Structure 1
Amino acid sequence: MDLFSPIRIGNYPLRNRIFMAPMTRCRSVQNNVPNDMMARYYAQRASAGLIITEATQISTKGIGYPYTPGIHTPEQVQGWKKVTRAVHDQGGKIFLQLWHVGRISHPSFHNGELPDAPSAIKPSGSIYTYEGMKEFVTPHALTIDEIKSVEQDYVQGAVNAMEAGFDGVEVHGANGYLIDQFLRDGSNHREDEYGGSIENRARFLLEIVKAVCSAIGSDCTGVRLSPSGTFNDMKDSDPKLHFSYVCEKLNAFDLAYLHIIDALEGDIRHGANVVDLSVLRKAYNGILIANGAYTLDRGNEAIKNGLADAVAFGALYLANPDLPERFRSHAELNTPNPDSFYTQDEQGYLDYPTL
C-alpha cells in the first residue's frame, strides 16, 4: 500500500491517497466571492485523491485576511458552484474548509468592532489588512450566547457548502484560529464550561463537530488540527496530553477523516512544539491524513508504516497541478514561487506547467 493505492473517505471511493492541502491564495477579489479563475485553479488539480479548499469564512466576523473566500452569502455559494462543477467535470472530489479566524483579525475588517476570541488576550505581532500591516488588538471575549451563535455559523456554512456542490467539509481547528484558540490554555483563560480543563476547552470544537455531522452527515465531515503548531502565537502547557484527548473524543463521530499538520521534522516558517504523529495515530482510530513538508518517499513511508492513511501536500500541489502524475513517473517538480502565493492575478496561480 502506498500513495497511489485507492482509499475510501466516508462514502467516497478515491483514486489515490495524494490529497491537496488547504492553502490561502487571496484570489477572491470581489466581495469574497469565488470566481472563474479559482474554478480553473482547482480543476487543474482534480487528479488529487481529494482536494481540500483554501480556508473559507463562515461569517463576516470570521474574516481576517483580504481577498479570501466566504460561504455565508448567496453570491459566494453561487461562486463556489463554479468550482465544484469544474472539479467534478474532471472526475475529482472536493471538500470545503470552514474557517473563523477569531482573534487573528483586525477591527478594519469588522466596521470597527473588535475581533472575537475565547478570551481577551492580544496575540503578538501584526496582520495584513486592506490598509497594509496593522498591529493585532485585544479581542472581544465571546459570551455563551455568542459562542452558540458562532457554532450555528459553522453549521450554516456546512449546509451552504453542500448546496454549493461540495462533497463534504473540513472543520478548521488548526493554525491558531478560533477553534485552536479555544483548545489552547495559552489563549483560553475562560472560567466557565468552555475554559479551564481540556474537557472544557475541547467543548467548542466537539459541539461544532456534532452539530455539523448532524446537519450534513459524519461521512461528509472532516477535522483539521495542528497539535505541534505555534503559529499565530499559540501556546499550550501540554499539547501531547491535550491533543491526545481531543483525538480520542473525535473517534465517537465516525468522521470522514482527521487531518493532522505533522511537525515531526519541524515547521521552520511557523515554529513547532512537536507532538509525535505516532501519539495521535494511537489515539485516533479512523482515517488519518498527514500534512507537513512531506515528499513522495516520506509519504509512502508514513502509509506503509500505518502512521497515516493519506498525505496532503501543500506548496508542492500549488506548483505542480499534476502532482500525482509527476510522482508516478518520478518527474522533476516545479518550484513554488512564494512571491505569488497571495497576489490577486493568474501569475503564479494558473501558469505552473504540467508535464
Structure 2
Amino acid sequence: MTAKLFSTLKLGGLNLPNRIAVAPMTRARTTQPGDIPNEMMAAYYAQRASAGLIVTEATQISVQGKGYSFTPGIFTKDQIEGWKLVTHAVHSAGGRIFLQLWHVGRMSHESFHPDGKPVAPSALSPYAQVWVVDPETGDGGMVDCPVPRALSAEEIKDIVKDFRNGAKNAIEAGFDGVEIHGANGYLIDQFLRRSSNRRTDEFGGSQENRIRFLRDVAQAVADEVGAERTGIRLSPYITQRNMADDEIIEVILKAARTLEEIGTAYIHLSEADWEDAPIVPDQFRRDLRAAYTGSIVVAGKYTKQRGEKILASGLADIVAYGRPFIANPDLPRRFAEDLPLADFEPSTLFGGMHKGYSDYRSYDQELGLV
C-alpha cells in the first residue's frame, strides 16, 4: 500500500482517512429550470465517497455569477434542498464534502444576464469561450464570451456578501466546508491580475489593492462558517483566458500571507492538466510553504506515482484527481491495490444524464462480483 497517499490528515475540523481528493469538475447535470442539484448528482458523488475529501463542481453564488449552462447554484431554497440530497448521500457513504463557491466574472455569456453584459473588474475581453445550451435545440456548445462591463465599488461589496451567503447556504445544505474558487480566470483571479484588472480605485492598481477582493471574500466566508471550514483555489501558473501577468507569483504569495492571517484550512493549487501545461517550480512551492502554514492541495495531471512523490517531498498535503475519478469511482482502492484504471468518455463530460456520469463501475462491478 502507498504510504503517503493513504496516510491520515487533519484538515480543519475533519479527519481525512487518506490524502486523495476528488477535484472540482463541471459536469452540468442539474435539473432545469433553476440549476438544481438532484438525485443523479447525489449518486455520482456518493460513488466517490472513499476519497479523503470531495470538492464539488463549481457552484454559482448568484444569477450574476453564472457562466455555463446547467451548472448548479447555491442561492435559492430549491438549490439548497437539492444539495441536501448530495451531502446526505455522501455522508451516508462515509465521505466528506466541500462545496466550491464560484463567480465567473467575465467568463460568461450574454444569455445569462438581463442586460446582456457579464461583469468584471474592467471592461476587457477574456478572448475565451463558455459552454452554453441552445434553448430551442437543447444542444450545447462552446460560444464566445462578450466584452464585460466593469463593476462599481458598491457592486463588488455586494458580491462579497453573495460569497458569504453562499457559504452560509452551503453549511445549511450539510456541507463540511467550502472552497472559494479564486483560480482559472474567474472573478477573483481577474482582480488579482493586471491583464484583467485596470481599475484605479481601492480594488485595482497596486498588488495590495488587487488582493483586496480576495481578502474581503475569504474573510467574509471565514467569519460566516469558520476559517477551519474555508479553503481557496488559486492558479499561479495558468495564463489561458488572457490572464498572463508577470507579477502574479508575487501577488499569489502575498495573498497566501493574507490567507495565513485569516487562518484558512487550505490553499488548492490548480496546475492545469493539458500536455504543454506550465511546470510549477519547486522554488514556488517552497516559498508558498514559507508563507502559508495551512494544508496545500495540488491538482493537475497527477498520477499515483507523481502524487506520492509530491506528498513525500513535503510540498503538498493532499492530491486532487479529476479525470481519473470520472471513470474510476473507487480510485483510492485502485491506487492502493495497483488495479488497472478505466478510461473516461470525453463526449459525455458536459450535460446529459447517467451515461458517462454515474454509470462508471467499481472494479468489483467490472468483474461482475457485485
TM-score, structure 1 normalization: 0.96
In the alignment, which residue of structure 2 is the partner of 1:220? 229
* Aligned residue among 241, 248, 254 for 2:263: 254
In the alignment, which residue of structure 2 is the partner of 1:59? 62
Q: Secondary structure at the match of 1:289?
A: strand
* Aligned residue among 346, 358, 364 for 1:350: 358
C-alpha contact (below 8 Å) 1:210/1:253 kept by paired residues = yes
Distance 2:278 2:204 in 1: 24
Residues 201-280 of structure 1: pairs in structure 2 closer than 5 A: 201-262=210-271, 267-268=274-275, 271-272=277-278, 274=280, 276-280=284-288
CA deviation vs aligned residue, 1:175-208 (integer Å, no higher than 9, x gap): 1000000011100000011001111001000101
Range that drifts further, 165-174 or 293-302? 293-302
- TM-superposed deviation, 1:134: 3.3
CA deviation vs aligned residue, 1:190-232 (integer Å, no higher than 9, x gap): 0011001111001000101001111110111101001111232
In the alignment, which residue of structure 2 is the partner of 1:182? 191
Distance 1:297 1:126 in 2: 33
In the alignment, which residue of structure 2 is the partner of 1:127? 130
Q: Is structure 2 residue 307 aligned with structure 1 residue 299?
A: yes
- TM-superposed deviation, 1:121: 0.5
Range that drifts further, 100-109 or 242-251? 242-251
Distance 1:82 1:128 in 2: 26
Q: Secondary structure at the match of 1:204?
A: helix
* Structure 1 moving runs of 4+ over 6 Å: none
Amino acid at match of 2:88: R
In the alignment, which residue of structure 1 is the partner of 2:203? 194
TM-score, structure 2 normalization: 0.92
- TM-superposed deviation, 1:133: 4.2
Q: Secondary structure at the match of 1:60?
A: coil
Distance 1:332 1:133 in 2: 33
C-alpha contact (below 8 Å) 2:326/2:357 kept by paired residues = yes
C-alpha contact (below 8 Å) 2:58/2:101 kept by paired residues = yes
In the alignment, which residue of structure 2 is the partner of 1:316? 324
C-alpha contact (below 8 Å) 2:70/2:351 kept by paired residues = no
In the alignment, which residue of structure 2 is the partner of 1:148? 157
Distance 1:314 1:133 in 2: 21
Distance 2:305 2:352 in 1: 33
Distance 1:310 1:233 in 2: 29
* Aligned residue among 9, 15, 21 for 1:19: 21
How many residues align structurally? 352
Q: Is structure 2 residue 293 aligned with structure 1 residue 285?
A: yes
Amino acid at match of 1:119: S
Q: Secondary structure at the match of 2:108?
A: coil
C-alpha contact (below 8 Å) 1:20/1:52 kept by paired residues = yes
Q: Secondary structure at the match of 1:159?
A: helix
Q: Secondary structure at the match of 2:15?
A: strand
Indicate how the Cα distance of structure 1 residues 286 and 133 shifts in structure 2: closer, same or farther if over 3 A, else same: closer
Distance 1:282 1:335 in 2: 38
In the alignment, which residue of structure 2 is the partner of 1:105? 108
Amino acid at match of 1:228: Y
Distance 2:47 2:128 in 1: 36
Q: Secondary structure at the match of 2:29?
A: coil
- TM-superposed deviation, 1:315: 0.6
Distance 1:192 1:92 in 2: 44
C-alpha contact (below 8 Å) 2:192/2:248 kept by paired residues = no
Amino acid at match of 2:22: M
Distance 1:291 1:75 in 2: 31
Distance 1:281 1:238 in 2: 19
Q: Is structure 2 residue 49 aligned with structure 1 residue 46?
A: yes
Range that drifts further, 290-299 or 36-45? 290-299
Distance 2:14 2:279 in 1: 34
Range that drifts further, 109-118 or 43-52? 109-118
In the alignment, which residue of structure 1 is the partner of 2:342? 334
CA deviation vs aligned residue, 1:58-92 (integer Å, no higher than 9, x gap): 00001100010000100000000000000000110
In the alignment, which residue of structure 1 is the partner of 2:7? 5
Amino acid at match of 1:341: L
Distance 1:281 1:314 in 2: 24
Percent of matched pairs sharing the same residue: 50
Indicate how the Cα distance of structure 1 residues 306 and 344 shifts in structure 2: closer, same or farther if over 3 A, else same: same
